[in-house]
Amino acid sequence: MKHYLEAFFTLSSPLPEESKEDLKNFFTQFDEKIQESRKDGEFSIDDWKIKNSQLSLTISSIDSVPPHVAILRIRKQMAEVIGKKYRVGLRGFEFKKYTIETELEQEPLEKFTLPLTSKLTFKEKDGKHSVVIEIDPKILEDFVEKGAIERIVRRVSDKISKQHYGAKKEHHDVLWYSGEKKLYTDKNPTQLMQKANWIQRTNYRNQWLLSPTITTLAEALKQIMIDHIYKPLGFDQMMIPKLVDWSIWLRSEHAEGIYQGGFEPYFVVQPKEPTPEYFEEIADYITITKTIPEEKLYEKITPPIGGLSYAQCPPFWAFLEGKTLAKESLPIKIYDWSGPTYRYEAGSAYGFERVDELHRIETLFIGSPEQTKEIGEKVRNNLRKIFEDVLDLEVRESRVMPWWLQQSAHESEVDVDDLVVGTIDWEAYMPYRGSREESEWLEIQNISIIGQKYPKGFSVKAEGNIELWSGCGGGSFERFLTAFISQKGLDTKNWSDKFMKYIDKLPEPIKFH
Ligand code: SER
Ligand code: ZN
């Protein structure tokens, strides 16, 4: 990798002439030290100059310490030299020009740009591909310090490899199958439930009103989960927040995958000023016209502060953020069904299996690697029992691309063949979609062992340095029921006794004339 940097430090006041000798020695030593430690590469401070309150530097390197790293070191070490002796401080640095040239494993299929760069030039010579990255000179010192330059370089090759392999690699291996079950219908379950007035579309995209009939079924399913998973395995219920600010999605890395094919959040904004005066004209307008002045309203709100809960568990982690867990509290086992989660489903109107406002139950566990794996295995067994035995569903378990990789921008951190860290989906056969072999089955639940990702992302530790892992699972009531009705239909005569045991009385649907 080749680097070339022109930059300058701003000094708190001009340096006296006699300081030049000290600076010369400093830079010579600095140069020599790097040359000694990185014998294979080349590093040189080509030039330095003091003019008024500016110290300009030109640094180049080939396969050695990159100049932006050097400049951070210089800032630290030189402050000592000139601060003590001449009482002059370094106010910070700015780039004038910074280029990085690096080889690429693959050629880019399409040109692209990146933030914080002013130009990317792709080159080819003797079949070898390379790129010259010109860093935007206005890049903030703070970003340089926190690794933005390294991430720019990595992002270039990540984007090229995405061009070659497509956005996400799909993985799908069936691990287990319930076998064929007795099916009572081949009709579209959404239409069946709509006709029976169990569910009704609202005016808003992919959102539904859930009648007392269907709500009773939701309650029954929840109770089944409690009796078969949460009670026997010692999980406690908790209410995780459903409004998620950026700080959470930055730590969970969801923010990096925003609308990149796995994370499609609803955004939340705030009023710029939450006062009657500020909104008076809006209120007047609505009162007079009975319409919403969208443009005017838009002027009075902030950019998004985050969004509505998407993957359910990330906001849980704010609870543990920066803390050290007592050994006696491990493992932590909780579940949450305290409110809907939201996904902006692109495309046209879908059925009840793909809703923007969904009611999910989240199962979350945290502990040592052994505890986490053990709980994950038990939850998996009990979920299988619920689907296969209690609900009598035709389902299969598949190993798939982990949800947190789908939802973040990354895709290569976990080897999905690894039998420990990864995600398993339960998928139900939907007869109305076609044959078992050719139709798409419906994902109704997942369970994952996530490893250290979340404890690390939210800086959570455990007493005695126990390594912390987490695991979680989610399933939506809408999906459970769509799958169930698509196999068993609406007639409760055809429903399993084990399920019916949880339904005292199914409320009669409200009838319309
Ligand atoms: N958080 C996981 C998901 O989004 C499990 O609920 O699928
Ligand atoms: Zn989760």
The domains of the chain are located at 2-166, 183-241+312-500
Average model confidence (pLDDT) for the chain? 94
Homologous superfamily (CATH) of 183-241+312-500 is Bira Bifunctional Protein; Domain 2 (3.30.930.10)
DSSP-assigned states of every residue in 92-134: EEEEEEEEEEEEESS--SS----TTEEEEEEEEETTEEEEEEE
Residue 403 — very low, low, confident or very high, per pLDDT cuts 50/70/90? confident
- Asked if the model's pLDDT at residue 417 lies above 50, the reply is no
- Ligand 1 pocket, mutate which of 225, 308, 400, 446 (most atoms under 8 A from CB): 446
Q: In this predicted structure, what is the pLDDT of residue 404?
A: 86
Name which residue sits closest to atom 1 of ligand 1, judged by CA.
311
For residue 247, give both structure tokens: 């700080």
Q: In this predicted structure, what is the pLDDT of residue 147?
A: 96
- Asked if the model's pLDDT at residue 322 lies above 70, the reply is yes
- Ligand 1 pocket, mutate which of 309, 400, 403 (most atoms under 8 A from CB): 403
Strands 469-476 and 360-367: antiparallel
For helices 212-225 and 477-488, the axis angle rounded to 10 degrees is: 100
C-alpha 352 – ligand 2 centre gap (Å): 22
Name which residue sits closest to atom 4 of ligand 1, judged by CA.
311
Q: Is 312 in the pocket of ligand 1 (CB under 6 A)?
A: yes
d(CA 467, CA 461): 8
Q: Is 397 in the pocket of ligand 1 (CB under 6 A)?
A: no
Q: In this predicted structure, what is the pLDDT of residue 169?
A: 62
The CATH number that domain 2-166 falls under is 3.30.70.1920
Q: Is 400 in the pocket of ligand 1 (CB under 6 A)?
A: no
Q: Output the pTM of the full model.
A: 0.90
Percentage above 70 pLDDT, the chain? 97
C-alpha 249 – ligand 2 centre gap (Å): 13
CB 396 within 8 A of CB 387: no
Q: Beta-carbon neighbour count of residue 441 at 10 Å?
A: 19
Three-state secondary structure call for residue 20: helix
Name which residue sits closest to atom 3 of ligand 1, judged by CA.
311
Residue 420 — very low, low, confident or very high, per pLDDT cuts 50/70/90? confident
364 CB-near residues (< 8 Å, 6+ apart) = 313, 316, 332, 333, 334, 335, 336, 470, 471, 472
- Ligand 1 pocket, mutate which of 225, 235, 360 (most atoms under 8 A from CB): 360
C-alpha 353 – ligand 2 centre gap (Å): 19
C-alpha 475 – ligand 2 centre gap (Å): 10
C-alpha 472 – ligand 1 centre gap (Å): 7
d(CA 68, CA 82): 20
- Dump pLDDT digits (tens) for 177-216: 999 999 999 999 999 999 999 999 999 999 999 999 999 9
For the CA of 337, the nearest ligand: 1
Q: In this predicted structure, what is the pLDDT of residue 334?
A: 98
From the CA of 313, give the closest atom in ligand 1: 1
Q: In this predicted structure, what is the pLDDT of residue 415?
A: 54
d(CA 5, CA 386): 62
Q: In this predicted structure, what is the pLDDT of residue 419?
A: 55
- Dump pLDDT digits (tens) for 449-473: 999 999 999 999 999 999 999 999 9
Q: Is 178 in the pocket of ligand 1 (CB under 6 A)?
A: no
Q: Is 403 in the pocket of ligand 1 (CB under 6 A)?
A: yes
> Lowest-pLDDT range, 52-56, 407-411, 425-429, 494-498?
407-411
- Dump pLDDT digits (tens) for 18-37: 899 999 999 999 999 998 88
d(CA 60, CA 77): 19
CB 450 within 8 A of CB 404: yes
- Asked if the model's pLDDT at residue 406 lies above 90, the reply is no
Residue 513 — very low, low, confident or very high, per pLDDT cuts 50/70/90? confident
Q: Is 388 in the pocket of ligand 1 (CB under 6 A)?
A: no
- Asked if the model's pLDDT at residue 166 lies above 60, the reply is yes
C-alpha 87 – ligand 1 centre gap (Å): 56
- Asked if the model's pLDDT at residue 170 lies above 80, the reply is no
- Ligand 1 pocket, mutate which of 426, 448, 454 (most atoms under 8 A from CB): 448
Percentage above 90 pLDDT, the chain? 87
Q: Enumerate the active-site residues.
A: 313, 343, 345, 354, 362, 425, 443, 446, 472, 479
- Asked if the model's pLDDT at residue 67 lies above 90, the reply is yes
Q: Is 313 in the pocket of ligand 1 (CB under 6 A)?
A: yes
- Asked if the model's pLDDT at residue 416 lies above 70, the reply is no
For the CA of 311, the nearest ligand: 1
Q: Is 402 in the pocket of ligand 1 (CB under 6 A)?
A: no
Q: In this predicted structure, what is the pLDDT of residue 39?
A: 83
Q: Is 314 in the pocket of ligand 1 (CB under 6 A)?
A: no
C-alpha 413 – ligand 2 centre gap (Å): 18
Q: Is 311 in the pocket of ligand 1 (CB under 6 A)?
A: yes
Q: Is 336 in the pocket of ligand 1 (CB under 6 A)?
A: no
C-alpha 310 – ligand 1 centre gap (Å): 8
